[in-house]
Amino acid sequence: MQSNDNIEFSRFITLDKISMTETGRHIAADAAERAALATRFDLLGLDRLEADLRLRRTGAKVIRLVGHLSADVVQSCVVSLNPVPARLDVDFEMFFSEDVGATEADLTVEYDQDDPPEPVQGGQIDLGEVVAEQLGLNLDPYPRASDAHLPAGWRTTTEAELEVARKEEKPNPFSILKQVKTPERKD
């Protein structure tokens, strides 16, 4: 998570409010916060952003957050630049660690491993920033309006053309080596 400077949407919960029994929070961004987030994520509009969050300690200084994000966004079409409205409904899960002494080596993640817990700094978690990050992660990277068409003259590859290209015989770059004779080995 990023530092809390210039965060558009902040809702803090202190660690002493989180116990082994589940703690629930509903948060929603107001109009000014949504406008700031729309600027941050280059959206044409962010009409609604809210989340239902559940937090609970799992032991060993680890906190589990399970959330559901709901948002109404308007993005710009990558072809026509027309508005593309979308509704996001996303379930997510994160873990936080109170162990701020973890080294960078401890936080190295292998490809097939789960993400390590986010370190908690200052004794609190910014739930608003967690939701904002989840919003950014779940936006369509290439929004396209249903009526968007490429300009005349632009050519796209069809599935049939791709299939023909796959079937074409390609020369083997090592075929020239067949012509080279190797001395026979006598064992």
Q: 180 falls in which pLDDT band (50, 70, 90)? A: confident
Identify which of 54-58, 118-122, 175-179 has the greatest average pLDDT.
54-58
> What DSSP line would sit under 124-175, residue for residue?
EEEHHHHHHHHHHHHS-SS---TT--PPTT-----HHHHHHHHHS----TTG
Is the pLDDT assigned to residue 111 strictly greater than 70?
no
Cα distance between residue 46 and residue 26, in whole Å: 18
β-partners of residue 90 are: 69
**Who's near 90: CB < 8 A, 6+ residues apart?**
68, 69, 134, 138
Q: How many domains is the chain partitioned into structurally?
A: 1
Q: What is the pLDDT of residues 121-164, one digit of tens each?
A: 889 999 999 999 999 999 999 999 888 777 666 666 677 777 77
Cα distance between residue 88 and residue 183, in whole Å: 68
8-state DSSP, 62:
E
For residues 171-181, average pLDDT: 76
Nearest to 50 by CA among 31, 25, 71: 71
Q: What is the pLDDT of residues 84-103, one digit of tens each?
A: 999 999 999 999 998 766 54
Question: From the CB of residue 150, how many other CB atoms can be counted at a distance below 10 Å?
Answer: 10
Please indicate, yes or no, if residue 71 is contained in any of the structural domains.
Answer: yes
For residues 72-91, average pLDDT: 94
Q: What is the pLDDT of residues 47-67, one digit of tens each?
A: 999 999 999 998 778 999 999
Q: What is the pLDDT of residues 21-49, one digit of tens each?
A: 999 999 999 999 999 999 999 999 999 99
Range of the domain at 44: 12-138
Cα distance between residue 158 and residue 160, in whole Å: 5
Q: 2 falls in which pLDDT band (50, 70, 90)? A: very low
Cα distance between residue 103 and residue 100, in whole Å: 8
Lowest mean pLDDT among 1-5, 43-47, 55-59, 71-75: 1-5
Question: From the CB of residue 84, how many other CB atoms can be counted at a distance below 10 Å?
Answer: 21
Please indicate, yes or no, if residue 145 is contained in any of the structural domains.
Answer: no
For residues 112-120, average pLDDT: 80
For residue 43, the model assigns a pLDDT of: 97
For residues 1-9, average pLDDT: 65
Please indicate, yes or no, if residue 173 is contained in any of the structural domains.
Answer: no
Please indicate, yes or no, if residue 146 is contained in any of the structural domains.
Answer: no
Question: pTM of whole model > 0.95?
Answer: no
Please indicate, yes or no, if residue 54 is contained in any of the structural domains.
Answer: yes
Question: From the CB of residue 91, how many other CB atoms can be counted at a distance below 10 Å?
Answer: 10
Please indicate, yes or no, if residue 51 is contained in any of the structural domains.
Answer: yes
Cα distance between residue 178 and residue 156, in whole Å: 39
Helix axes 31-40, 127-138, angle to 10 degrees: 50
Please indicate, yes or no, if residue 122 is contained in any of the structural domains.
Answer: yes
Is the pLDDT assigned to residue 110 strictly greater than 70?
no
Please indicate, yes or no, if residue 167 is contained in any of the structural domains.
Answer: no
